[in-house]
Structure 1
């Protein structure tokens, strides 16, 4: 039966992470209901602004936490270590992509390939255009959002009910979200669906990055994957 667990109590890290998450949602709703959409786009959620950099930092932290977990798992089998290291690499890649690998921070000049094939002329993969297809709308668009929702909202419910899937998740060292993570993920999804602002997804990405740090630090199946 699905129920709250002891890990639903907030740790000191969670107080900070969840505080930032809920504050971000409150600010996003505040900008929306007051009609300050341009201020949201050019301030709070601006390119290279606090939300985007916060997302990049949290994705990098998530990668580092996963690397720590991989070291802890060395005595529990190669598969668990390899999968956790792979997850860490994926989040490191995501952190780099979020800030275009320092394109604006270090004032790098994009190569000819990226100038010709990147929708924004920057050094990142997710804005590449292949033919008439923009990767940000295909591989990194709705499909990725669906995978994230399945991970945050569906997997924890199934993990608690289906033993075979729980054993598979543990074998693959997948950190499973706990109740507190599901509540914030659901709140963020409701907010993002409700508000209609151009750069609202920046808030969603930031909340997701905060959630991953918390999940990887103390998941539902912590005794199996950390």
Structure 2
């Protein structure tokens, strides 16, 4: 079995096991879910931070592949994506503030509703960034990437060209299905305190799978092992062009 697929299988098993544990706990004992799995500095939060950081490292590697292919613009974009993932990983654990026990500056004490050094918990006027920008605004974009892009990718040439131009690692239908499962889970356990810690954890795992085994490996000079049905749908299109 190719290493990328073995890696995907391991992460997929982790996704299934964690959800199989978290969903019953959230439904049967929401308090236990809040104070154990989803607690501040708990397993879901630290797991999310670690897997986002590993995703950033995978993107750095992908950027090097693009650089070796002479696609400097694509490599630069990929390293920008890596920086964003590393940033979110740092934000997830407030840049190690609680781990290393250092104090926030006066600005964050005044404007951060947890008095921590991070941006996503800032309150600017009446706007809380965690729920507005990082929640309501960002979630539809991520779901479009995870669900709509896999559907449109084999159907529309302009979508493939756009993904190639921006060096986007394209999710597969497996990743789309996992995104739907994760979203439905949020509905099923709706109202449980800190339920979105599980959603963030799921996204970090999906990112790992996508970057390790994207639907468009040709972008990175790798040979696609996808089924003939998908290759037929895409025709002779080469995303590296």
Please tell me the TM-score bracket, short chain as reference: over 0.9
Q: Quick one: higher RCO (CA 8 Å, sep 6+), 1 or 2?
A: 1
* Matches of 2:153 and 2:188, distance apart in 1: 29
For residue 32 of structure 1, report the CA deviation from its aligned partner. Answer: 3.0
Q: TM-score, normalised by structure 2?
A: 0.87
Structure 1 residue 21 corresponds to structure 2 residue 12 = no
For residue 225 of structure 1, report the CA deviation from its aligned partner. Answer: 3.9
Contact kept in structure 2, 1:175 and 1:225, CA below 8 Å: no
In structure 2, list runs of 5 or more residues that go unmatched: 222-241
Contact kept in structure 1, 2:8 and 2:212, CA below 8 Å: no
Which residue does 1:223 correspond to in 2?
218
Which residue does 1:49 correspond to in 2?
42
* Matches of 2:187 and 2:23, distance apart in 1: 11
**SS of equivalent residue, structure 1 residue 161:** coil
For residue 76 of structure 1, report the CA deviation from its aligned partner. Answer: 3.2
1:12 to 3, 6, 27: 6
Residue correspondence of structure 1 range 1-226 to structure 2 within 5 A? 11-34=5-28, 36-74=29-67, 75-196=69-190, 197-225=192-220
* Matches of 2:27 and 2:219, distance apart in 1: 44
In structure 1, list runs of 5 or more residues that go unmatched: 1-6
**SS of equivalent residue, structure 1 residue 62:** helix
Contact kept in structure 1, 2:37 and 2:44, CA below 8 Å: yes
* Matches of 1:16 and 1:54, distance apart in 2: 15
RMSD: 1.6
